[in-house]
Amino acid sequence: MLETFETVAKAVADPSRVRILKLLEGGELCVCQITTVMDLAPATISKHLAALKTAGLLQQRRDGKWVYYRLADRQLNPYAPQFLALVRKSLVDDPTTAEDRRVLALVNAVPLPVLCDQGRAALAPNAQAPEASTCCGGPS
Protein backbone atom coordinates (compact mmCIF):
# COMPACT_ATOMS: atom_id res chain seq x y z
CA MET A 1 0.00 0.00 0.00
CA LEU A 2 2.89 2.40 0.65
CA GLU A 3 3.98 2.06 -2.98
CA THR A 4 0.46 2.92 -4.15
CA PHE A 5 0.44 6.04 -1.96
CA GLU A 6 3.91 6.98 -3.14
CA THR A 7 2.91 6.75 -6.80
CA VAL A 8 0.15 9.31 -6.31
CA ALA A 9 2.25 11.54 -4.05
CA LYS A 10 5.07 11.66 -6.60
CA ALA A 11 2.64 12.39 -9.41
CA VAL A 12 1.21 15.46 -7.67
CA ALA A 13 4.62 16.65 -6.46
CA ASP A 14 5.39 18.12 -9.89
CA PRO A 15 4.05 21.65 -10.52
CA SER A 16 3.28 20.93 -14.20
CA ARG A 17 1.20 17.92 -13.23
CA VAL A 18 -0.74 19.97 -10.70
CA ARG A 19 -1.41 22.53 -13.43
CA ILE A 20 -2.76 19.74 -15.65
CA LEU A 21 -5.03 18.53 -12.84
CA LYS A 22 -6.29 22.08 -12.28
CA LEU A 23 -6.99 22.44 -16.01
CA LEU A 24 -8.99 19.22 -16.01
CA GLU A 25 -11.21 20.38 -13.15
CA GLY A 26 -13.29 22.11 -15.80
CA GLY A 27 -13.81 18.87 -17.72
CA GLU A 28 -12.25 16.67 -20.34
CA LEU A 29 -9.54 18.09 -22.60
CA CYS A 30 -7.69 16.86 -25.66
CA VAL A 31 -3.92 16.48 -25.48
CA CYS A 32 -3.57 19.37 -27.98
CA GLN A 33 -5.54 21.65 -25.68
CA ILE A 34 -3.38 20.77 -22.67
CA THR A 35 -0.18 21.15 -24.70
CA THR A 36 -1.23 24.56 -25.99
CA VAL A 37 -2.21 25.92 -22.59
CA MET A 38 0.93 24.63 -20.90
CA ASP A 39 3.16 25.74 -23.80
CA LEU A 40 5.37 22.68 -23.36
CA ALA A 41 6.59 20.11 -25.88
CA PRO A 42 4.09 17.34 -26.67
CA ALA A 43 6.57 14.72 -25.43
CA THR A 44 6.82 16.49 -22.08
CA ILE A 45 3.03 16.70 -21.76
CA SER A 46 2.75 13.00 -22.68
CA LYS A 47 5.18 12.05 -19.90
CA HIS A 48 3.20 14.09 -17.38
CA LEU A 49 -0.09 12.59 -18.54
CA ALA A 50 1.34 9.08 -18.34
CA ALA A 51 2.51 9.66 -14.75
CA LEU A 52 -0.89 11.03 -13.73
CA LYS A 53 -2.69 8.15 -15.43
CA THR A 54 -0.39 5.55 -13.82
CA ALA A 55 -1.15 7.13 -10.44
CA GLY A 56 -4.87 6.65 -11.04
CA LEU A 57 -5.58 10.38 -11.18
CA LEU A 58 -6.63 10.49 -14.85
CA GLN A 59 -8.59 8.46 -17.33
CA GLN A 60 -8.31 8.73 -21.09
CA ARG A 61 -10.43 7.96 -24.09
CA ARG A 62 -9.67 8.00 -27.76
CA ASP A 63 -12.04 9.46 -30.33
CA GLY A 64 -10.55 8.86 -33.77
CA LYS A 65 -7.19 10.58 -33.79
CA TRP A 66 -7.94 12.65 -30.67
CA VAL A 67 -6.98 11.53 -27.16
CA TYR A 68 -8.95 13.07 -24.32
CA TYR A 69 -8.13 13.13 -20.61
CA ARG A 70 -10.32 13.74 -17.60
CA LEU A 71 -9.96 13.48 -13.86
CA ALA A 72 -10.52 9.90 -12.73
CA ASP A 73 -14.14 9.24 -11.86
CA ARG A 74 -13.43 5.62 -10.95
CA GLN A 75 -11.26 4.63 -8.05
CA LEU A 76 -8.18 3.37 -9.86
CA ASN A 77 -5.98 4.02 -6.83
CA PRO A 78 -7.43 4.18 -3.30
CA TYR A 79 -5.47 7.37 -2.56
CA ALA A 80 -6.31 9.22 -5.79
CA PRO A 81 -9.66 10.68 -4.66
CA GLN A 82 -8.06 12.24 -1.58
CA PHE A 83 -5.26 13.81 -3.60
CA LEU A 84 -7.72 15.07 -6.24
CA ALA A 85 -9.83 16.64 -3.48
CA LEU A 86 -6.75 18.36 -2.06
CA VAL A 87 -5.75 19.72 -5.47
CA ARG A 88 -9.33 20.87 -6.13
CA LYS A 89 -9.36 22.89 -2.88
CA SER A 90 -5.87 24.29 -3.43
CA LEU A 91 -4.46 27.06 -5.62
CA VAL A 92 -7.82 28.74 -6.14
CA ASP A 93 -6.20 32.20 -6.28
CA ASP A 94 -2.84 31.11 -7.73
CA PRO A 95 -1.67 33.41 -10.58
CA THR A 96 -0.29 30.52 -12.67
CA THR A 97 -3.50 28.49 -12.58
CA ALA A 98 -5.53 31.66 -13.18
CA GLU A 99 -3.45 32.36 -16.29
CA ASP A 100 -3.91 28.74 -17.40
CA ARG A 101 -7.69 29.18 -17.12
CA ARG A 102 -7.48 32.41 -19.14
CA VAL A 103 -5.48 30.72 -21.91
CA LEU A 104 -7.80 27.70 -21.81
CA ALA A 105 -10.74 29.99 -22.59
CA LEU A 106 -8.87 31.13 -25.72
CA VAL A 107 -7.93 27.55 -26.61
CA ASN A 108 -11.54 26.38 -26.30
CA ALA A 109 -12.54 28.89 -28.99
CA VAL A 110 -10.25 27.25 -31.57
CA PRO A 111 -11.37 24.13 -33.50
CA LEU A 112 -9.31 21.07 -32.51
CA PRO A 113 -7.88 20.39 -35.98
CA VAL A 114 -6.54 23.96 -36.13
CA LEU A 115 -5.21 23.81 -32.58
CA CYS A 116 -3.52 20.44 -33.14
CA ASP A 117 -1.88 21.70 -36.30
CA GLN A 118 -0.81 25.15 -35.11
CA GLY A 119 -0.54 24.98 -31.31
CA ARG A 120 -0.16 28.41 -29.68
CA ALA A 121 0.07 30.06 -33.09
CA ALA A 122 -3.64 29.26 -33.50
CA LEU A 123 -4.38 31.73 -30.70
CA ALA A 124 -3.04 34.64 -32.77
CA PRO A 125 -5.74 36.94 -34.16
CA ASN A 126 -4.88 36.16 -37.81
CA ALA A 127 -4.43 32.37 -37.50
CA GLN A 128 -5.37 30.40 -40.61
CA ALA A 129 -7.14 27.06 -40.80
CA PRO A 130 -4.81 24.22 -41.84
CA GLU A 131 -5.20 22.36 -45.10
CA ALA A 132 -4.77 18.99 -43.38
CA SER A 133 -4.43 18.41 -39.66
CA THR A 134 -2.05 16.13 -37.85
CA CYS A 135 -2.91 13.71 -35.09
CA CYS A 136 -3.28 14.77 -31.50
CA GLY A 137 -2.04 11.89 -29.40
CA GLY A 138 -0.87 10.98 -25.96
CA PRO A 139 0.27 7.95 -24.01
CA SER A 140 -1.86 4.89 -24.63
Establish if 133 belongs to a structural domain.
Answer: no
The CATH number linked to 26 is 1.10.10.10
If one counts every other C-beta atom within 10 angstroms of the C-beta of residue 113, the result is 18
Give dist(CA 50, CA 62) in Å, integer: 15
Q: Would you give per-residue pLDDT tens digits along the chain (140 residues)? A: 778 898 899 999 999 999 999 999 999 999 999 999 999 999 999 999 999 999 999 999 999 888 999 999 877 788 888 999 999 999 989 999 999 999 999 999 999 888 888 888 888 875 544 444 445 555 44
Establish if 12 belongs to a structural domain.
Answer: yes
Establish if 131 belongs to a structural domain.
Answer: no
Q: How many domains does the chain have?
A: 1
Radius of gyration of the chain (CA): 15
Establish if 18 belongs to a structural domain.
Answer: yes
Establish if 127 belongs to a structural domain.
Answer: no
Establish if 59 belongs to a structural domain.
Answer: yes
Give dist(CA 128, CA 68) in Å, integer: 24
> 41 lies in which domain range?
2-119
Amino acid at 101: R
What's the pTM value of the predicted model, to 2 decimals?
A: 0.86
Establish if 134 belongs to a structural domain.
Answer: no
Establish if 49 belongs to a structural domain.
Answer: yes
